[in-house]
Structure formats: C-alpha cells, structure tokens
Amino acid sequence: MATLTVGGGRQVRYRRAGSGPPVVLVAAGGPGDFWQAHQVPALAAVGYEAITLELPEAAGPRDELTALLADSVELLGTGPCGLVGFSFGAQLVQGLLVHRPDLWTRAVLVATRGRPDPVGGALLRAERALHAAGAQPPPPYQAFFQAVLHLGPRTWEREGEILDWLDLFEAGARTGGVPPEPPGDQADQLAGLHGVTGPVLVLGFQYDIVAPPRLGREVAEALPAGRYREIPDCGHYGCLERPGTVNEAMVGFLSAPVPR
C-alpha cells in the first residue's frame, strides 16, 4: 500500500488496481480493506482503475477530513474522476460534491445520510462515551454488537455465514485495542446538496440501522441529478452481504452514457 503526504504532514494510504478511467473509493469504518474483496475486482474487470483511500482516523472534524480527501484526490493526479463513498466516507464525498466540483464526474453514495436523526445521534454519543472511558469490551461482546449493528436478518438466518462474520469481527476486536473515537459530526448537509449538478446515485440498504434508507432517499431527493436505489435483504454492510447487486448498480451507473 502506497502513501500520500497531505494536510501538513498527515499520511493517507491508498491502493490502485486495474487500468482505465479512475474511480476513487472512500470508506471510513468497516472491516479492513473494505472495498478489496468485491468492489475493486468488479471495477477493474470492466476497465476502471479502482483507487481505495484510507484516511487517518484521528484527523479531526468532518470539514478537515473532507479537505484531506480533496488534497488526496488532487495528489493522485487523476483529474476529474468517479467517486464512491461508504457511510461516513460517503458524507465526506458529499462535501466534495458541494465544494470541489472540479474533482469529480459522477458519484455513488452508499449507506449515507444528510442530516442527524435520534437513533444515529444516540449511537454516536454512546461510541464517544465508550472511547472517553478508555473501555475495551471483551472481543466476543464487541463481535456480537458489530454483527447486530451492521448485518441484516437474512445473514443471521444463515448459521454458517453468521459464525464466519462473528469470527471476523472478534479477530478485529482482538487486534484493535480500545475502540477509536468515532469521526465526524451530525451536521445537516442537505441544503448544500441542492447546488450539486452532476449525476449521483445513492444506494440504501433495507435493514440498515446506522444509515436508515429513508435518510439516503432524502440525500437523493436533495440532489438535482440524484437517483436512489434500495438494496433488499441486507444491513449496513450491504456491500459485503449483497456484493453482486451492489456491484451491478455501481458499475451500471458509472458506465452509463453522460446525459446530453
């Protein structure tokens, strides 16, 4: 994995795969190498260069992270490119859509939101309280909590698959130490999106607790050229639970002819 030095010396790691028009993928949170198992191969297979960015967790507020993202895209030297963001990474991409239209051609926002809501606010406060206490719950507890929060009920019904997920989450908990302070804030982004003119696809997941589908639909409705699609039978990690459907929607949108 290569490294960019941006924002006064901060390090942003990135990885490139494939060749062709560039697509930059941003995920803040999620299992390590979030995009590598499914989305990167799908993009590379149809003639894109997939560039995954790993922003530093402790970079600061959302506006600062958005600036780091903009600096990173500029340093990559791709010119205007496709953008894909997941969860908080999608909120950072939304900042670029508003403030740096010169950096992108079209964008896919996955499991995103444009405003605070009571459940999301409660989760953010709980995670910050856990971080402030310096607490490290036992790995099996962390694994179960992550599975409840991020996976859809159909995955829980497949007993062998859910055991694999719990093993994956527990392995991450054993190496991760105290959970990091969650990034970002709950500021409202919807008003700023009204001035974004480029094409944007918003993907929501039917059983997403972290970014409920109705909040993603609001983002699409705020965008003049936004469209919304909901992926059924999955939770917040729908990119990993339903990768074929997600990849079909993402690649199809990125490859569609530019409207005249």
Which is it for the CA torsion 25, 27, 32, 38, positive or negative?
Answer: negative
pLDDT (tens, 9 = 90+) of the chain, 260 residues, equals 899 888 778 888 899 999 999 999 998 766 657 899 999 999 999 999 999 998 876 556 788 889 999 999 999 999 899 999 999 999 999 999 999 999 999 999 999 999 999 988 998 888 888 888 887 889 999 999 999 999 999 999 999 999 999 999 999 888 865 555 666 566 799 999 999 999 999 999 999 999 999 999 999 999 999 999 999 999 999 999 999 999 999 999 999 886 65
The answer to whether 88 touches 29, Cβ cutoff 8 Å, is yes
Q: Which fold has domain 2-117+184-255?
A: Rossmann fold (3.40.50)
* Candidate list 87, 131, 164, 188, residue with the active-site label: 87
Predicted local distance difference test score (pLDDT) of residue 6: 85
Predicted local distance difference test score (pLDDT) of residue 194: 96
Residues 6+ apart with CB under 8 A from 218: 113, 114, 115, 190
Domain boundaries, the chain: 2-117+184-255, 118-175
d(CA 207, CA 243): 15
* Candidate list 150, 208, 233, 255, residue with the active-site label: 208
Strands 2-6 and 104-110, sheet pairing: unpaired
Predicted local distance difference test score (pLDDT) of residue 27: 85
Instruction: Spell out where 59-205 has E strands.
Output: 81-87, 104-110, 200-205
Tell me which residue has tokens 């997403």: 208
Active site residue 102: no
Instruction: Spell out where the chain has E strands.
Output: 2-6, 10-17, 22-28, 49-54, 81-87, 104-110, 200-205, 226-231
d(CA 161, CA 157): 9
Predicted local distance difference test score (pLDDT) of residue 184: 57
Predicted local distance difference test score (pLDDT) of residue 131: 80
d(CA 55, CA 92): 11
* Candidate list 72, 99, 194, 236, residue with the active-site label: 236
235 burial (CB, 10 Å; 0-12 / 13-18 / 19+) is buried
Predicted local distance difference test score (pLDDT) of residue 167: 95
Active site residue 87: yes
Which is it for the CA torsion 157, 159, 164, 170, positive or negative?
Answer: positive
Active site residue 150: no
Q: Is the pTM of this model over 0.85?
A: yes
